[in-house]
Amino acid sequence: MNDFYHEQSVERVRKRSDLILIIALVAVLAVFIFLGYIYIGIWCVFIAAAVVVLFYFLVFSKMKVEYEYFLTNTTLEVDMVVRGKKRKSLADFDIKRAEIVAPQNSATLNNVKIKPKNFFIYSAEDKAVMPYAIIFTDRVSKQQACLLMDLDETMVDQFLRVLGPKVVHKK
C-alpha cells in the first residue's frame, strides 16, 4: 500500500512587540521596586517577584509557539504547541478540497478575494520564508478561505502528486 506520512515543525518567530513588552515590564518593575522600597519597604520586592512569576506563566509562556503539520495521504492536520508542552489541534483538512496551492506572493493568487475573517495563519511569520497559501471553499459558510503555512518541498510535492499541476503552483 502506498501510504504517505510527513511531519513538519515550524517555530513562530518572536515579534518586535514581544521584545517591547518584556522591556516595558522590566522597566515598570524596576520603578516599582525602587519607589516601593522607599515607601512600602521590603514587601515590594516580594510583590514584584509574584508579578514576574505571574507574567511569566500568563504572558511570556504563550510567546513560544510552534506549529506542527502532519500530512497523512490526503489529510493535513495542524497543531499548535505552546512552550513545548500544551498541544492544541487547530485544523484537520482534506487536501483534495484545495482549489489553489501557491506561494503567498504568487501571481496565481492575484484574482482571489478572501474576507479577512477567513484567513487562518499557521506560519512562523518569518520574512525569510515564503508561506504557501492554500485556498479552499468552506463547507459550512460556502465562502473561500485561506490557510497560510510554511510548507517544505516534501509536502508541496505530495500536494502536487495528489492535486496535480493545475492546482499546485510552486512559483
What is the Cβ-side half-sphere exposure of residue 108, based on CA atoms within 13 angstroms? 18
CA distance 83 to 62: 7
**Mean pLDDT, all residues of the chain:** 80
pLDDT of 41 above 80: no
pLDDT tens-digit map of 102-160: 888 888 888 777 766 666 776 777 777 788 888 887 777 777 888 888 888 888 888 88
Alpha helices, DSSP H only, in the chain?
16-39, 43-58, 153-163
Whether pLDDT at 57 is above 70: yes
User: What is the per-residue pLDDT for 111?
Assistant: 79
**pLDDT, average across residues 73-99:** 84
134 or 14, which is more confident?
134
The 3 state secondary structure assigned to the chain is: CCCCEEEEEEECCCCHHHHHHHHHHHHHHHHHHHHHHHHCCCHHHHHHHHHHHHHHHHCHHHHCEEEEEEEECCEEEEEEEECCCEEEEEEEEEHHHEEEEEECCCHHHCCCCCCHHHEEEECCCCCCCCCEEEEEECCCCCCEEEEEECCCHHHHHHHHHHHCCCCECCC
Higher model confidence: residue 18 or residue 155? 155
Q: Which of 123, 142, 139, 140 is nearest to 131 (CA)?
A: 123
Quick one: pLDDT at residue 129? Answer: 76
CB 97 within 8 Å of CB 137: yes
pLDDT of residue 1: 47
pLDDT confidence of residue 35: 78
| pLDDT surpassing 60 at residue 5 | yes
User: In this prediction, what percent of the chain has a pLDDT beyond 90?
Assistant: 0
